[in-house]
Amino acid sequence: MDKIKRNRDYIALFMAVFAAIVFILIATFSYKFAPNNPLATDYDNLLKAPCSQYFFGTDQLGRDIFSRILYGGRTSLLIAFLVTAIISVTGIVIGAVSGFCGGVVDGILMRISDMLMAFPGSIFTIALVSFMGTGLVNLIIAMSLTGWTYYARLSRSMVLSIKNNNYIEQARLGGANPIKVLNCYILPVIIPPLLVYISQDIGSKLLTIAGLSLLGLGSQPPTPEWGYMLSEGKEYMNSAPWMLLFPGIIILINVIVFNLLGDALQNVLNPKKSAI
Amino acid sequence: MSQENLLEIKELTKYFKVKKEKLTAVDNISLSIKKGQCLGIVGESGCGKSTLVKMIVGSLKPSGGTIRLEGIEYLNLKGKEKRDFWRNIQMVFQDPISSFPPRMKIGNYLAEPRLNYDKIKKKDAISQAKELLEMVGLKKDFINRYPHELSGGQLQRVAIARAISVSPKLLICDEATGALDVTIQNKIVELIDKLIHKEKISCIFIGHDLAVVGSISDNVAVMYLGRIVEYMNSQMLEKNPLHPYTKALREAAFDVYCNQEDELKVLEGDPPSPLNIGEGCAFAKRCSFAKEQCFKERPQLKEVEKGHFVACFI
Amino acid sequence: MKKTLVLLMIAAMTFASLAGCGKEVSKSDKSSDKVSVSKEAQDSHVNIALFTYIEGMDPATDWCGWNLTRCGVGETLVTVNENMEIEPLLADSYEQVDDTTYSFHIRKGVKFSNGTELTPEIVKASIERSIENNSRGQDLKIDSIKVDGENVIFTTKEPFSAFVYNMTEPMTVIVDTTADTSNYDTKPICTGPYYVKEYVSEEKIELEANENYWDKVAEIKSITALNIDSDTKTDAILAGDIDLAQGPAATTLSNVEGNDDVDIVKVTGTRENDFWLNCKEDSPLGDVNLRLALSYAIDRDVVAKVAGNGYSSPLTTAFPETVGYDSDKVKGQNYDVDKAKECLENAGYKDSDSDGYVDKNGENLELKISLSSSSNSAVSETLQDMWEKIGVKTEIEMLEDTSTIRKNGDFDILADSGWQTVNAGDGQKYLANRWKTDSTDNYGKYTSEKFEAVLEKLDKAFDKDERIAAFVEAQQVLADESPCIWLYANDNITLVNSKKIGNVTVFPIDYYLVTNEWTLEN
């Protein structure tokens, strides 16, 4: 019975990874898939409903929404990945060092982390972006500044729980210097469970980016970006609902896929903890 | 001619603060081991032997006293010097599984100490690892296995192999056989015995089974609540234990062929809390031979015959 | 499977809330905050949204007077009615004594909302207070004010044909200077059919009917004016949060068309929409040829379509035709890509490296279009697209707050919300404010002797035909030099929930709104 469940878990993981890769490929090679230039305007076809020429209809400048969604993926997914990569790597390392060293180092690092965590995440990000100015680079910086604390906390607590295991002692007796202990003994143990959080975080960061762009704080026009497309579309909600519908669905699907990916990873790594 | 002491422990003490009260885990212990000798340490759970070992190995800082290996107070070394020193002291833990990093292959695990200390090439380290496996009686292809694929006994063999791979001066076996089946226990003890004599490694063997400890050790120290109550060589342990506690321990060991009609001699009373031992002998409350003096004065270790020390008023 | 369904539901809710997220951004005051009024008056209450929500209620400060006239709180000596004619208000008659002297007779029996009687002395003190404190006070060109019995005598510094029109400007709203004026920022004492009961910054203005009003007392006893973004005014009125909305975004009107309860009342507008250009010498746009090139490159029919969705008309001059200054006689830049390219060349720009963008001295021409992040970027993107076609590269920059770059003139091209062209019932103020050298609202720092000369001519022209000719000349100078790019004129639209409010008059000048004539339906 367990074996069958195990196989199901692997299949689920495979499917989730496959879906994620498909999305990433489509986004990266959007220029091959997009039928139209996402920036090309068509003033005779403003706010046109979906048709054969424009699969998802056009926006207020007559641009092809389908092509804009494909190109938008590049921006959205790329940033989500980048930010997640930055915060997970820095957060995990800082947390591991903090937990492993203890003492003053731990104290300082955790106080810094506490200070940053004291601000409610999204609001702090919004405030930072408003202060630094709009644009994708500032968006990445703002999201990275606040996002690493989550991983630092997680990684630190995991390190604390294994710190006193005998194999860490053995590592020291075996002559490993602290750096080696971190790299070869601690990180390989704590990273696999953290992968679950990481993949779910991608979905969450996608939403944050969309939300910030919705507020006009993320990518600048005319760059297609899903969140910004939503904010453009809300004005035309009655006359051109496809402007809201398709970017919204795409965001939805992407977030779901990455959440499912995290879920599947969780099941495979920790079979006992998986839901029925 | 007595050889130089390899390991010298002088007046070693460790206490912990438990809610404003002082818990003395190790109380003013002095021990020494010569090169090539094996010292056994016996005692019940909570007697402080683990704490003692942790101090020797550098996991815990002593509250008082010194430990010297070949004359060097190694606990005071710093940085790289200190790191390089640890090759001289290796340890085998009680629980085999927790000694192994779960995602590291056996081969890499075995190769680690040589790689770190002697900086040899990875290829050489791996081939040496294979030889080590052979030496402890395991198949060479275990190199590529993961810890969860091996049994407890097999893991302990690997642990032992790793420990001696860097030719340490001192090997500490902390209840190395405690978690294993009885049949395996003997094999492991035999292996350790063989290896330490072959490689001329001094050893501290800790356990709570008198017979096992006695079989491998040259000298045995009996600990009770942080203090050494008796110290003798292993023959004396078998023939002539003097301290009431040691006697009780010996009688508590069942012999399969013993007379089943005999009364079980049970130690009366509860062991005192290590927080509040009081002035007299720590064992006094449970001792069937206790006199008034035992409750008032703390007995010191006295040499009653050559190489046999007892801390008792009897 | 179950888990997937739950995830799908959560994601759907996230999407739904994201779509509604934009609404939450605008500070719409939903539900609970109803004013506590007496039982009878409880039924006699409406909520409205003003054209724009200005911070502050003191006419002596900036444009705050417009809040007062919109809310029916403040009154001027003379006013402009819905037919764009001057009407007496607090002055029941006036005459021009000579070139620079005017006499206004103050109406008797007018009381402020606190019961104080309106006197010529208070009129003098109030207007002097406005002149002294308001940055635009000098626009009135008043040299001195005197009280003579029941009259107030004004003397202008020089002959100023637009003087009487200027006295309708809301900065001249009369306040009770004998009362404590320290909180006039929030609760000024004025003479209108309503007074300010409570003012909450950035949120709402609570108005109550003034029982001391000198004319017919208002039937609707209390009004709340809420701060709502143009984009969300239609949503708000459809949701019932407001019963009247002045100036909803044209692009959202499709939501209301065909609705039985909500009327779209359209009046040909007097506002225009344009983009500022930085005319300073050190800016690339200091060169008139470049400015003309940018103007020729625009297809204004398309821009009007994109911007207004059927409620806008293209504009190439400073005044929309509806204002009546013979704008059709003015020659502006019609859509002509070739002409645009020609002007570019005259300015010295060519695509020498064939990268699709024009350059000069080896550097590509790059301009920045700045706009506020809360406004619709569609027009900016359209302009960007059209300029791309003539090889001019532009970048769009959305800023949280454009007031700093506006004040310092730190921009290339700046989007602005539309300007009221007949401020005070007459176009002189608009021209002087925006394009006279060193005028406070001349963000692009445009300066032209030719234009100054026409302005002077205008000031001296008291005859109607003379004035219109002067306006035509002024428009032509501006069209030839294009310190701004005029794009389109919006209809002046007010949404009225006819089931709740009746007898609403819509004025072409959008700083008039609330009157004492409104009735409560059913």
Residues of B in contact with A184 (CB under 8 A): 101, 104
> Using CA atoms, how far apart are residues C13 and A9, in angstroms rounded to an integer?
27
Of the candidates A175, A177, A184, the beta carbon closest to that of B87 is on A175
What amino acid occupies position A55?
A: F
Q: Looking at the predicted structure, is the pLDDT value of residue B8 above 50?
A: yes
Mutation to test the A interface, candidates B50, B61, B103, most A Cβ within 10 Å: B103
Average pLDDT rounded to a whole number, residues B45-56: 85
Which residue shows structure tokens 């820095």? A90
Per the CB < 8 A criterion, the answer to whether C199 and C76 are in contact is no
Tokens coding A178:
């602290």
pLDDT at C23 (0 to 100): 42
Q: Looking at the predicted structure, is the pLDDT value of residue C393 above 50?
A: yes
Of the candidates C2, C22, C306, the beta carbon closest to that of A60 is on C306
Q: Looking at the predicted structure, is the pLDDT value of residue B276 above 80?
A: no
Which residue shows structure tokens 């009897």? B314
Residue C76's φ and ψ, nearest 5 degrees, are -105, 175
Inter-chain touch B86–A177, beta carbons under 8 Å: no
Q: Looking at the predicted structure, is the pLDDT value of residue C22 above 50?
A: no
Per the CB < 8 A criterion, the answer to whether B310 and B230 are in contact is yes
Distance from the A100 Cα atom to the nearest Cα atom in chain C, whole angstroms:
36
Give me the domains of chain B, ranges plus CATH numbers: 32-60+76-219 (3.40.50.300), 235-314 (no CATH)
Which H or E run contains C494? Answer: strand C492-497
> Using CA atoms, how far apart are residues C501 and C507, in angstroms rounded to an integer?
16
Count CB-CB contacts under 10 A for residue B301.
17
Residue B172's φ and ψ, nearest 5 degrees, are -115, 125
Q: Higher confidence at residue C83 or residue C347?
A: C347
Distance from the A211 Cα atom to the nearest Cα atom in chain C, whole angstroms:
7
Per the CB < 8 A criterion, the answer to whether C103 and C164 are in contact is no
Q: Is B116 on the interface with A (CB under 8 A)?
A: yes
Confidence tier at C361 by pLDDT (50, 70, 90): confident
Q: Is C384 on the interface with A (CB under 8 A)?
A: yes
> Using CA atoms, how far apart are residues C444 and C125, in angstroms rounded to an integer?
35
Q: Is C254 on the interface with A (CB under 8 A)?
A: yes
Inter-chain touch A239–C255, beta carbons under 8 Å: yes
Chains near B (3 or more Cβ pairs under 8 Å): A
In three-state secondary structure terms, A274 is: coil
pLDDT at A158 (0 to 100): 92
Which residue shows structure tokens 């063997």? B205
Residues of C in contact with A244 (CB under 8 A): 19
Going from the C-alpha of C458 to that of each of A179, A190, C61, the distances in angstroms are: 82, 80, 27
Confidence tier at C325 by pLDDT (50, 70, 90): confident
CA atoms within 13 A on the CB side of B280: 15
Secondary structure E strands in C18-131? 45-49, 78-80, 86-88, 91-98, 101-106
Chain A residues interacting with chain B (CB cutoff of 8 angstroms): 165-167, 169-177, 180, 184-185, 188-189
Long-range contacts of the stretch C216-219 (C-beta < 8 A, 24+): C216/C516, C216/C517, C217/C193, C217/C516, C218/C72, C218/C193, C218/C194, C218/C516, C218/C518, C219/C44, C219/C516, C219/C518, C219/C519, C219/C520
Inter-chain touch B84–A188, beta carbons under 8 Å: no
In whole numbers, what is the pLDDT of chain C averaged over residues? 87
What is residue C214's DSSP assignment?
S
Of the candidates A207, A227, A237, the beta carbon closest to that of C255 is on A237
Average pLDDT rounded to a whole number, residues C273-294: 92
Per the CB < 8 A criterion, the answer to whether C434 and C442 are in contact is yes
What is residue A216's DSSP assignment?
T
> Using CA atoms, how far apart are residues A65 and A247, in angstroms rounded to an integer?
8
Long-range contacts of the stretch A121-129 (C-beta < 8 A, 24+): A121/A146, A121/A147, A122/A208, A122/A211, A125/A208, A125/A212, A126/A212, A126/A215, A126/A217, A129/A212, A129/A217, A129/A218
Which residue shows structure tokens 């225009």? C272
Confidence tier at C164 by pLDDT (50, 70, 90): very high
Interface of B with A in 57-76 (CB under 8 A): 57-59
Per the CB < 8 A criterion, the answer to whether C454 and C468 are in contact is no
Inter-chain touch A234–C22, beta carbons under 8 Å: yes
pLDDT at A272 (0 to 100): 55
Q: Report the first-to-last Cα separation within chain C, whole angstroms.
A: 54
Q: Looking at the predicted structure, is the pLDDT value of residue C351 above 80?
A: yes
> Using CA atoms, how far apart are residues A46 and C353, in angstroms rounded to an integer?
34
**pLDDT tens string C219-275:** 999 999 999 988 889 889 999 999 999 988 887 887 788 888 899 888 777 888 999
pLDDT at A276 (0 to 100): 40
Tokens coding A224:
């297609």
**pLDDT tens string B122-131:** 888 888 888 8
pLDDT at B257 (0 to 100): 56
**pLDDT tens string C50-70:** 988 888 999 999 899 999 999
Residues of A in contact with B57 (CB under 8 A): 169, 173
Per the CB < 8 A criterion, the answer to whether B172 and B204 are in contact is yes
Which are the contacts of C20, defined by CB distance < 8 A and separation ≥ 6? none
Q: Is C4 on the interface with A (CB under 8 A)?
A: yes
pLDDT at C327 (0 to 100): 86
pTM exceeding the 0.95 threshold for the entire prediction: no
Distance from the B266 Cα atom to the nearest Cα atom in chain A, whole angstroms:
35
Q: Looking at the predicted structure, is the pLDDT value of residue C155 above 90?
A: yes
What is the topology classification, in CATH, of domain C269-490? Dipeptide-binding Protein; domain 3 (3.10.105)
Sort residue B166 into left (φ over 0), alpha (ψ -120 to 50) or beta.
alpha
- Residue C179 CA from chain centroid, whole number: 30
Confidence tier at C36 by pLDDT (50, 70, 90): very low
Going from the C-alpha of C271 to that of each of A7, C247, C369, C492, the distances in angstroms are: 69, 11, 22, 8
For chain A, list residues with pLDDT below 70: 1-2, 270-276
Residues of A in contact with C2 (CB under 8 A): 275
Q: Are strands C501-502 and B38-42 parallel, antiparallel or unpaired?
A: unpaired
Q: Is C92 on the interface with A (CB under 8 A)?
A: no
What is the DSSP secondary-structure string of C414-431?
EE-PPEETTGGGSSHHHH
Give me the domains of chain A, ranges plus CATH numbers: 2-274 (1.10.3720.10)
Range among A214-223, B218-227, C86-95, C400-409 with highest mean pLDDT value: C86-95
Per the CB < 8 A criterion, the answer to whether B6 and B169 are in contact is yes
Task: Give A64's strand partners.
Answer: A58
Inter-chain touch B116–A172, beta carbons under 8 Å: no
The 3 state secondary structure assigned to chain B is CCCCEEEEEEEEEEEEEECCEEEEEEEEEEEEEECCCEEEEECCCCCCHHHHHHHHHCCCCCCEEEEEECCECHHHCCHHHHHHHHHHEEEECCCCHHHCCCCCCHHHHHHHHHHHHHCCCHHHHHHHHHHHHHHCCCCHHHHHCCHHHCCHHHHHHHHHHHHHCCCCCEEEEECCCCCCCHHHHHHHHHHHHHHHHHHCCEEEEEECCHHHHHHHCCEEEEEECCEEEEEEEHHHHHHCCCCHHHHHHHHHCCCCCCCCCCCCCCCCCCCCCCCCCCCCCCCHHHCCCCCHHHHHCCCCCEEEECCEEECCCC
In three-state secondary structure terms, C103 is: strand
Which residue shows structure tokens 């996991």? B59
**pLDDT tens string C144-154:** 999 999 999 99
Chains near C (3 or more Cβ pairs under 8 Å): A
Tokens coding B130:
């294979």
Residues of A in contact with C377 (CB under 8 A): 221, 232
> Using CA atoms, how far apart are residues B62 and B11, in angstroms rounded to an integer?
10
Q: In terms of residues, how long is chain C?
A: 522
In three-state secondary structure terms, C370 is: strand
Which are the contacts of B279, defined by CB distance < 8 A and separation ≥ 6? B295, B296, B297, B298
What is residue A58's DSSP assignment?
B
Q: Looking at the predicted structure, is the pLDDT value of residue C175 above 90?
A: yes
Residues of A in contact with C309 (CB under 8 A): 239
Inter-chain touch A189–B102, beta carbons under 8 Å: yes
Per the CB < 8 A criterion, the answer to whether C508 and C427 are in contact is no
Secondary structure E strands in C6-64? 45-49
pLDDT at C33 (0 to 100): 36
What amino acid occupies position A238?
A: N
Question: Going by beta carbons, is chain C in contact with chain A, meaning 3 or more pairs sit under 8 Å apart?
Answer: yes
Where does residue C32 rank: exposed (0-12), middle (13-18), buried (19+ CB within 10 A)? exposed
Inter-chain touch A173–B86, beta carbons under 8 Å: yes
Sign of CA dihedral B233, B238, B243, B247: positive
Confidence tier at C367 by pLDDT (50, 70, 90): very high
Range among A74-83, A176-185, C187-196, C408-417 with highest mean pLDDT value: C187-196
Q: Looking at the predicted structure, is the pLDDT value of residue C20 above 60?
A: no
**pLDDT tens string B170-225:** 999 988 777 778 788 888 888 888 888 888 889 999 987 888 888 888 899 988 88
In three-state secondary structure terms, C488 is: strand
Distance from the A59 Cα atom to the nearest Cα atom in chain C, whole angstroms:
10
pLDDT at B249 (0 to 100): 78
Q: Looking at the predicted structure, is the pLDDT value of residue C28 above 70?
A: no
Average pLDDT rounded to a whole number, residues C110-135: 93
Which residue shows structure tokens 């940085």? B79
Q: Looking at the predicted structure, is the pLDDT value of residue C128 above 90?
A: yes
pLDDT at C89 (0 to 100): 95
> Using CA atoms, how far apart are residues C169 and B175, in angstroms rounded to an integer?
97
pLDDT at C1 (0 to 100): 52
Which are the contacts of C514, defined by CB distance < 8 A and separation ≥ 6? C48, C70, C71, C72, C193, C194, C207, C223
Residue B4's φ and ψ, nearest 5 degrees, are -65, 150
Q: Is B113 on the interface with A (CB under 8 A)?
A: yes
- ipTM for the predicted complex comes to 0.77
